Amino acid sequence: MFSVLTRQPCEQAGLRTFSRTPAVIALVVLLLSFVVLVTITLIQTHHKEVLLPGLKYGIVLDAGSSRTTVYLYQWPGEKENNTGVVSQTYKCSVKGSGISSYGNNPQDVPKAFEDCMQKVKEQIPAHLLESTCVYLGATAGMRLLRLQNDTAAKEILVSIQNYFKSQPFDFRGAQIISGQEEGIYGWITANYLMGNFLEKDLWHMWVHPNGVATTGALDLGGASTQISFAVGEKVELNTSDIVRVSLYGYAYALYTRSFQCYGRNEAEKRFLAMLLQNSATKTNVINPCYPRDYSTSLAGSRIFDSPCTEALKPRSYDPDDTITFEGTGDPLLCSMKVASLFAFKACRGRDINCFDGIYQPGVKGPFVAFAGFFYTVSALNLTGSFSLNTFNSSTWDFCSKSWGQLPQLLPRFDEVYARSYCFSAHYIYHLLVSGYRFTEDTWPQIYFKKEVENTSIAWSLGYMLSLTNQIPAEMPLVRLPLKPPTFMSTMAFFTGVALLSLAFLVMYLYMSARKQHHSQHVLDHTVDSE
């Protein structure tokens, strides 16, 4: 009897010790999992290896109708996800007018480039010059010259090609791009810079943003203007105006249209030709858009040297004839005269006006207006987004100023531009409101911008992105100890182990408490029975 009584507690203690072993193991696993999770997180977030990726460079010459601008772009050379992250590192404006003005002396074009190209070379490490791609894209000015004198246009391009073949670059050619291409590339640039194609995730990786709408693009050049915006798949339009664009694995249906001869400079030539045509005297012409107390004399060739004014050329035209235009600063008459530059008529079978005989879908969503649009509103002391009433009142106020008052209003005073800002403002109003059908409600969705984070909004960046297949991508800014998929898998595994261990411990404590309660109940019952 004694031996049984003394041996029983030892047996029970051994059983209790054995039964606690899983709980101890679970507790140890839980603690270890917690330690591993904390350690991995600390290492991943605080032990990053900063990378200094090798840079690559690309040069685009934007050969516009009024000037040529050289853009130097750079991007890290490593590849990741086949995306491109490009920034503008230098910009240089070539002295003189656009390359289309060299029709009579194409051999002189390279001389104009020399100063800017020398400055660009200084921005690029010498050992990378040979691998730096150079592209030249000519726009509406050269498109007009090709219509007027195809031989001269070709000779200019050949002269440019010969020049770059002697330079230490990887020259990829000089070409005249179409108006539609110009619109597409401008749209790509605007959305690329505004982050609508790519954004950085938690791990500093570039990914496509979810649910981000694209932004329409409005470009006003010297000889043409472009409008481009994404539309739905089901839209009733001439198929030539709808372009399918695929970027970073996503497809977009894009409406894009370029209007030749509706650029700011060519529009003003047509405007001056129209004033001359309707003037009683052919030597002194009243211009209500020029500032009061201002007059200038222009040779006939300055107005009628373009296919855009061919139909308005006087019968007794002499390119050496001089016409004097006298400004009256009359905003109301200026607006009425500018409106006559546009031929709006109802689209066939549609109760809506057509711009230049072309129907387009209704504008919707945000737009960014750059190039000539930005420079004009900037002269009116406006920028960003504002109401249509604000634009109109600023236009009226500016157009009412005399010539002597303008130097105080304009930070950078240039006679050629200053005298024409009033015309440009009224022209933009009729183009956007009567042409593109922006209203008081949709006008505030237009953002007039010049650049985004020191990179110009211009078709040139989209052009290079397209020609280089969206540019080899940037690597993450840091190299993490574990790649994101490995890190996430490891975190998920140990989190799961920790949760299972915690669940086991909770269940064990619950069962132990219940068993202890049952044992106490049996013991109490036994004592009561004795």
Q: Which residue has the tokens 């020399």?
A: 114
Structure tokens at 142: 């050269």
- In the block, tokens 């001869």 appear at 261
Please tell me the distance from the alpha carbon of residue 154 to that of residue 392, in angstroms, as a whole number. 43
What sign for the dihedral angle of Cα 496, 498, 501, 502? negative
Distance between CA atoms of residues 157 and 117, nearest Å: 17
**3-state secondary structure at position 289:** coil
HSE, CB side, 13 Å, CA atoms: give it for residue 199.
Answer: 11
CA proximity to 68, closest of 1, 9, 135 = 135
What burial class does residue 151 get, using C-beta atoms within 10 Å of its C-beta: 0-12 exposed, 13-18 middle, 19+ buried?
exposed
For 178-204, b/e burial (b = at least 16 CB within 10 A) is: ebbbbbbbbbbbbbbbbebbbeeeeee
Largest Cα separation within the chain, whole Å, is 142
Rounded to 5°, angle at Cα 334 from 330 and 338: 175
Rounded Cα distance, 382 and 374, in Å? 9
Residues 300 and 312 sit within 8 Å (Cβ to Cβ): no
Q: d(Cα 263, Cα 309) in Å, to the nearest integer? A: 13
* Triad 180, 225, 374: Cα angle to 5°: 125
Please state, in angstroms and rounded to a whole number, the distance separating the CA atoms of residues 247 and 156. Answer: 33
- The whole-angstrom separation of Cα 90 and Cα 105 is 29
Contact 339, 351 (CB under 8 A): no
Catalytic residue among 155, 182, 268, 474: 182
**Catalytic annotation present for 453:** no
Dist. CA 463–CA 461, nearest whole Å: 5
Residues 478 and 51 sit within 8 Å (Cβ to Cβ): yes
Any idea which residues carry the catalytic annotation?
Answer: 182
